[in-house]
Amino acid sequence: MNATPRYSKTEPEVTGIARWRFVTVAIVLCLLALTVTGRLAWLHTIEQPFLFTEGEKRTVRVKTESARRGMITDRYGQPLAVSTRVVDVGIHPARVAPSALSELAQVLGRPEAELIRTVAQARLKKRAFIYLERQLQPDIADKVAALKIEGLQLTNGYRRYYPAGEVAAHLVGLVNIDHQGQEGIELSYDQYLQGDAGKRTVVQDRYGNIVKQVAVSSMAKAGKDIALTIDLRLQYLTYRELKAAVDQHSAASGSAVLLDAKTGEVLAMASQPSYNPNNRALLKAENMRNRAIADVIEPGSTIKPFTVAAALDSGRYTPGTVINTAPGYLRVKHKTIRDHRNYGKLDVTGVITKSSNVGVTRLSADLGAETMWQFLTKAGIGQPSGLGFPGETVGQLPYPEQLDALRLATVSYGYGMAVSPLQLAQAYTSFTQGGCRSPVSVVMDAYSPDDCQSVMKPGVAQQMLGILETVTSNKGTGRRARVEGYRVGGKTGTAHKVGRYGYEDARYTAVFAGVAPLTDPEVVLVVVVDDPKGREYYGGEVAAPIFSRIASQALRLRQVIPDDLTELELGQQVAKGL
Amino acid sequence: MNVAVWLAVLVSALIQIGMVHWHRELLSQWQVLDTKQRELTQEQTRLLLEYSTLTAYGRIDQLARRQLNMTEPDNTRVLTQ
C-alpha cells in the first residue's frame, strides 16, 4: 500500500530516461548545426570559385554590337549600297511559356498554330536556340520587345539595301545574310567597309535589361564609306541602252564600259544579263558575272588601231604612207588572210577606215613580234588593270617567242588573244590621254596625273584620233556610231565566237570601241554584244548604234560643248528658213 | 588617431557608394542617348533611301517626259557661241 507514495518518489528515474534522450537530441542538433556550418564553409571556400563563375554566367553577358557597314555611293554621293538597322528575333524554346506565343504570333503577323508547332518541335529536339524571324523591321521589333516575353532574344543587325538595284549590281556586288561581302566592291573592299564590332561586358536581369556595365573591351566602330567614280545617271542610261540592244538582238549577253577619257576613271560599267541584289531568292550565278571585267572576248578589229599606232610610233610610217593591200588577200604560212574585197592601194589611215586585215598584217610583219608585243603590253593588253576586282581576268596576249608569222598576223587584227571589255576601253584611253595612259580606277581619288604608262608619242595619239574619226565617216565601217553635233571616232570589231570545233561560222561577238568628242575627248566607250541573233551581227551594225545612243546622252548629261558645228549651223539655217 | 582612420574609412565608403551610383546614372543616360542615336541614324538612312528613290534618274526622266512634256532640245535649238 505504501507503494503508491514510493512510486511518486521514483520520478527522478523518469528524468533519468529523459536525460539520455536529451543527450541524444542535443548531439543530433549539434551535428545538424555542424553540418550546416560545414556546408556553408565548404560552399564559401572550396566550392566558391565554381559557384561564382556559374553565377556570373547567368547574369553577366558579353555583348557584341555589330558595326554599321559603310555606305557605297557614286561620285556625287548618290547611295548605291546602304545598311539599315534590322532585328533578328530568336527564342530559347525551353524557357518560353507557351501562353506567350499567341501574343507573339500576332505581333509577328504569323499564324499562331504554326509558331507553336515550330517551338514545340525545337523543344523536342532539345534545341537551345532558334531564330523565329530574321531581318525584322525595327518598328515591329520594338513591339516584340514591349511584350517582355521571357526566353526571347532580340539581336540588332543590319540589312543591306541597293537603291540602284540591277543597274549597278555587278559593280557594287552584294553581301550575304551575315553582312559579309560576296561580290564586286562589297567583296574587294570588305575590310574597309566592315568596321569593327564592339564588345561590352554587362550584367543583365532576366528580361535582358542592362543593370550594370562591367567593362568595355572595344566600342563599335562604323565602317567607312566608299565613293565610286561611277556617275549613277550615266550608269542608268548605259544600262538602259545596253539592255534594250541586247533584247533587240536576242543576244546572249552584253557589256559596256564608259571611261573618263582624261583620267581613266570608270564612269559607268554595265553588264547584261543582270540581277536584283535586293532579292537574294532569285539569284542565279550566271547573271552575277560582271562581264565587263570577268569575261574575255577576242577583240577582233578593235585592236587594229594599236597595230597602226605602233607603226606610226616607230617613226617609219605617217598616216599618209601608202600600203598595197591588193589583191585583197595574203597567204601567211598555210592560211590565207582576206579583206572583204580588194581595196588596192590604201594609206595607213585607209587601213583603219576600211578595216583591212591585209594592211595591218603587212604593218605588223614589218614591225616584228617584239615591237608589237611591247606596244600592246604597254597599252595594257594581257596586263592586270589594277582594279583588284574579284574574278577579274587578265586576258591573254601571246609572248613574242610564241608569235610566228601567222600568229603575229592574227594578233595584228585582234585574233588569237583575249581581252576584257574593260582592258579594251583602258587601252583606248592611251589615245585620249596624249599617249600616256593612267590606270583605270573605280574608287574616287585614286587617280593621279603623274601616274601614267607611256604608250606612244603624244603626236601619234593625236594622229590616231584623226584616223579613228574616218571610221565614222561615210567611207568607214562605223557610220552608225555617229553622234549628232559631235566629232566621234572609234573602231568596229566583229569576232567569230570560239565553239567546240574552233571558230564558229555563224556566231559572232560585235564590238565597238570609241572616243567622243574628238576635239577634246571626254569619254571612251566600249560596247560588246555577245552572240547577236538575227540578220545584223557586225560590230558596225549592232554595237555602233549602241555607242551612238549612249555617247549622245552621256555628252549631253556631262554638258559637253558640241564640237561639230557644220551640221548644227546647217540646221539653224534651215530653222531660219534660209 | 583611431577616430581619424574610422572617419576616413566612412567617408571613402560613402564616396564609393556615390561613385557607383553616378556610374549607373551615366550608363543609363548613355544608353538612352545611344538608342536615340541609333534611331536618328535609322531615320537618316530611311530618308536617304527615300530621297534616292525619288530622285532616281529613270524616274525623273519619265516624269519629265510624261507629265511635263519635256524633251531633249534638238540641234536647231542649241545655242552656240
Chain B residues near residue A164 by CB distance under 8 angstroms: 56
pLDDT at residue A358, as a whole number: 92
Beta-carbon separation of A85 and B78 below 8 A: no
Identify the residue among B40, B49, B75 best suited for mutation to test binding to A, counting A beta carbons within 10 A and taking the highest.
B75
> Does this chain's domain A63-227 share its CATH topology with A232-571?
no
pLDDT at residue A255, as a whole number: 94
User: With 70 as the cut, is the pLDDT of residue A119 above it?
Assistant: yes
User: With 60 as the cut, is the pLDDT of residue A571 above it?
Assistant: no
Mean pLDDT by 10 residues, chain B (81 residues): 92 95 88 87 87 85 90 66 55
Mean pLDDT for A223-252 is: 92
The residue in chain B having the minimum alpha-carbon distance to the alpha carbon of residue A565 is: B80
User: With 90 as the cut, is the pLDDT of residue A269 above it?
Assistant: yes
Give Cα separations from A197 to A37, A64, A141, A216, A218 (angstroms). Answer: 48, 7, 21, 12, 8
pLDDT at residue A152, as a whole number: 82
Question: What are the residue ranges of helices labelled H in A62-208?
Answer: 100-108, 112-124, 138-146, 169-172, 184-188, 190-194
Query: Where do the structural domains in chain A lie, given as residue ranges?
Result: 63-227, 232-571
* Residue with more model confidence, A475 or A33: A33
pLDDT at residue A578, as a whole number: 45
Tell me whether strands A198-204 and A502-516 are parallel, antiparallel or unpaired. unpaired
pLDDT band of residue A12 (cuts 50, 70, 90) is low
Sequence-distant (≥ 6) Cβ neighbours of residue A419 within 8 angstroms: A296, A297, A299, A381, A382, A395, A427
d(CA A502, CA A247): 27
Mean pLDDT for A290-295 is: 88
Fold held by A232-571: Beta-lactamase (3.40.710)
Superfamily of domain A63-227: Penicillin-binding protein 2a (Domain 2) (3.90.1310.10)
Tell me whether strands A329-332 and A253-260 are parallel, antiparallel or unpaired. unpaired
Tell me whether strands A523-530 and A253-260 are parallel, antiparallel or unpaired. antiparallel
Mean pLDDT for A365-393 is: 88
Name residue, grid cell 506565343: A101
For residue A236, give the nearest of B24, B48, B58 by CB distance: B58
For the entire predicted model, the pTM comes to 0.80
pLDDT band of residue A1 (cuts 50, 70, 90) is very low
Tell me whether strands A72-73 and A226-227 are parallel, antiparallel or unpaired. parallel
The sign of the dihedral angle between the CA atoms of B42, B47, B49, B50 is positive
Mean pLDDT for A523-539 is: 88
Mean pLDDT for A200-219 is: 77
pLDDT band of residue A512 (cuts 50, 70, 90) is very high
User: With 70 as the cut, is the pLDDT of residue A61 above it?
Assistant: yes
Q: Which of A255, A274, A301, A552 is catalytic?
A: A301
Judge whether A392 and A420 are in contact, CB under 8 Å. yes
pLDDT tens digits for range A457-499: 999 999 999 999 999 988 888 889 998 889 999 999 988 887 7
For residue A84, give the nearest of B24, B42, B58 by CB distance: B42
Judge whether A292 and A422 are in contact, CB under 8 Å. yes
Chain A residues near residue B58 by CB distance under 8 angstroms: 236, 240
User: With 90 as the cut, is the pLDDT of residue A309 above it?
Assistant: yes
d(CA A287, CA A283): 8
pLDDT at residue A6, as a whole number: 52
Judge whether A106 and A112 are in contact, CB under 8 Å. yes
Question: Mean pLDDT for chain A?
Answer: 86
DSSP classification of residue A519: S
pLDDT at residue A388, as a whole number: 78
Active site residue A301: yes
* Residue with more model confidence, A173 or A128: A173
Question: In this predicted structure, which of A78-87, A351-360, A496-505 has the lowest mean pLDDT?
Answer: A496-505
Chain B residues near residue A565 by CB distance under 8 angstroms: 80
Mean pLDDT for A499-504 is: 75
Cell digits for A249?
Answer: 538582238
